[in-house]
Amino acid sequence: MSDGASTAAAKAPRPLLLIDDDRLQARMVQQQLKAFRRDQFEMEWAATFEDGLERLLSDEHEVCLLDFQLGERDGLELIQKAKEAGCTVPIVFLTAESSSDIDIRAMNAGAMDYLVKGEISASTLERSIRYALKLASTLAELNRLATHDELTGLLNRRELDRILSEEADRSARFGRPFSLVMLDLDHFKSVNDKYGHAAGDQVLQETARRISGLLRKTDRIARFGGEEIAVLLIELAEDAAAEVADRLVAEVRSTPYLLKDGTSLQITISAGLASLSHVAATADELMTAADAALYRAKSTGRDRLEVAPLREGQD
């Protein structure tokens, strides 16, 4: 056996979820999966709408085969609920009906491909799964490019604005606190001027890494532009958010940055903090308040945090 064949044979089967209330269909799919020529899949079977949705949302599967008819409910509803819950597992829709209407509805709902049960063979199923996985990967990469900064891997300004607006609305509806920290690297222009833009890029990347390492999974971090970074601290009021912001400033200061050429740089960062609804009532007001606080931090010595003052009418 060649080295390539040995490597392929050694690959662990990829996890696949079948959601179908027909036991015979499940057995047929299992047999077809065994006949695949390339990747091998290990099938998990869910026979009901509720069980299928729960397993799909577990995010333990690389691809899902979903039946149209699931007792009194259908696969279109299941796709909708899964997408609403943030599921990104690629779905291939299966149906006994050869109807263009179902085809269109399935694709519009978010399915990656569509197969008629009576026409499925091992080769068509393998092709469909491979296509679904490839398409899902392509869409995920396009989404990443549209929402993330290429240099640092952080969210970009456009995505920050979207999340900021959503969180401000949620805060207003449910009375939950949330805070924005604006950060700006001190004397960053001198780094670019003295050591070159490649060095500046390394400093930005290392700063993004250090700050990200101190945040919770629920928080959001974005490159606001140039050397500015924005951090959204979800459901953190001013006092707790100020503690986090102080740690971010201290983390940047704590250890010199070591560039690829061996140069060691002492880097500091300034921070401005504003909280809803403590100092602002809207996303725009929050951004303005945090930016003004950052300006004060820069103009009063740098390497420090400034907190936006209470808005008028607040105690």
User: Active-site positions?
Assistant: 227
CA-CA distance, 216 to 69, in Å (whole number)?
Answer: 40
* Dihedral, 290, 293, 295, 296 alpha carbons, nearest 10: 180
Could you tell me if 260 and 288 are in contact, meaning their C-beta atoms sit under 8 angstroms apart? no
Strand partners, 35: none
Nearest to 45 by CA among 68, 71, 65, 31: 65
Helix axes of 157-174 and 283-299: crossing angle, nearest 10 degrees: 120
Nearest to 248 by CA among 224, 223, 276, 215: 215
Task: Give the burial string for 151-177 (b: 16+ CB within 10 Å, else e).
Answer: ebebbbeebbbebbeebbeebeeeeeb
